[in-house]
Structure 1
């Protein structure tokens, strides 16, 4: 697999959006992008624009959704501060949103704001968790984001609990995996295990953003992190408080890890599928 040609600085954000306030949360996101000094990629939490608050998402879909056109473009004036932040910093911004598609599907999505200020619904969450299925439709495909010469598979929260989701990204040549998320208080063990494991499983960097704060039962536990290809944190946030975690990804670290840990090359295409049943 080809490697990137130069280091890349990324940022994982943990912050507390206001339920239902898309315009205010877009302005907060713009401020947070400005804090990610020098980052070329900034990842904000799942559903950050409307906030991950199912009662509000269910009661006011018209106010909490953003609309995508048939090409996936999102042109919503409430997001203008975010466009400006991407243009001013030169960053590619990944931010969670509730998206209404032309066919009326409603998805939990990652919007990609490019450095020119264009916003695209880049990826729709495929693995819906629990009550999300009552409000949203599942995504139909994976996606890979290319920034400079780096390839990033896109996942959202529960997607990252499935090893095959990260593996599909790696099979598409991903050097990293970007995961906006919303982990509730009490889930710190799983939060810290899943994304480190996806990094090591696939010898790729992982950028994990998470919501933080809020009121029970929708209180989130931070812990945003950037993991190296062996699953070690390069940067990690606390379980409380707003933070922007900045780290630089190095191609030589990726190359050295993949040379030492060759799971991607050694994996059998049908590993474990032919099984014998033993009785003791």
Structure 2
């Protein structure tokens, strides 16, 4: 079994400000790469915030040149990175809740959210999902928020051979216990690891819970953020043993500088 370094980038999006969010995503990407991460997952609609009323205005095409710095950084750092953005196909009016995958090899894959929350259909169209990713010899299946509320979505990922189920989400304080319970249950039921990246602050009127997390393939909680705010939640597999750490970040007037310290170090688990 190969070594694997996964990371959920818990992130506080700046509502509607694509330029600021692009810059801060790049800073978090550099920080994650510095700590050896090979797969980095941002929350749902991380580049704009979860702002349905702004989505049509902010929607990008998958090949937008605005995203080129992130594509380049993913390749330069050798770190496959998943970012959230409203997507529109050329010549079409439909807007999708998208997750763009910038590959460590310079490739790009598009995932679109398949199942919408009630009310999202006013702005967004249902998507088609996307293929499994290959990172460090592991197959990773993507999920965007409400996708995982359908048991069939996780089951399909398991049947396709996924070893990791990676969920970009917006989960509120009120919904956290239920939703995290579902994800932990999938890890145990399907014997795959589950990585969850949540917003670290308010977005779209929701009080987001933070507490991004990773559960091992037997459903054991390995690591999670203790609350809200920007941080990196890292899960590492070494010789079949999972361990985790949380890196809190410092901010200045210019954004994120560096990790302050490992604020949580979880004892290794011998479940793979």
Q: What is the TM-score with the length of structure 2 in the denominator?
A: 0.82
Q: 1:40 corresponds to which residue?
A: 38
Point out the more displaced range, 219-228 or 140-149.
140-149
- For 2:215 and 2:175, locate their aligned partners in 1 and report how far apart those are by CA, in whole Å: 18
The structure carrying a bigger strand percent of its residues is 2
Task: Note the 1:16-95 alignment, pairs <5 A.
Answer: 16-36=12-32, 37-57=35-55, 61-62=56-57, 64-68=58-62, 74=63, 76-95=64-83
Structure 1 position 253, deviation (Å): 5.5
Q: 1:150 corresponds to which residue?
A: 138
Misfit runs of 4+, over 6 Å: none
- For 1:44 and 1:216, locate their aligned partners in 2 and report how far apart those are by CA, in whole Å: 17
Structure 1 position 216, deviation (Å): 7.3
Please say if residues 99 and 107 of structure 1, whose CA atoms lie closer than 8 Å, have aligned partners that are also in contact: yes
Matched, 1:133 2:131: no
Where do 5+ consecutive residues of structure 1 fail to align?
Answer: 69-73, 259-280
Matched, 1:115 2:104: yes
**Superposed CA offset, 1:249-273 (max 9, x none):** 357369x868xxxxxxxxxxxxxxx
Please say if residues 38 and 89 of structure 1, whose CA atoms lie closer than 8 Å, have aligned partners that are also in contact: no
Larger radius of gyration: 1
Please say if residues 154 and 165 of structure 2, whose CA atoms lie closer than 8 Å, have aligned partners that are also in contact: yes
Where do 5+ consecutive residues of structure 2 fail to align?
Answer: 243-269
Aligned match for 2:168, one of 180, 195, 198: 180
Please say if residues 9 and 247 of structure 1, whose CA atoms lie closer than 8 Å, have aligned partners that are also in contact: yes
Matched, 1:168 2:156: yes
Provide the alpha-carbon RMSD of the alignment.
2.1
3-state SS of paired residue (1:211) = coil
Structure 1 position 117, deviation (Å): 4.2
Count of residue pairs brought into register by the alignment:
242
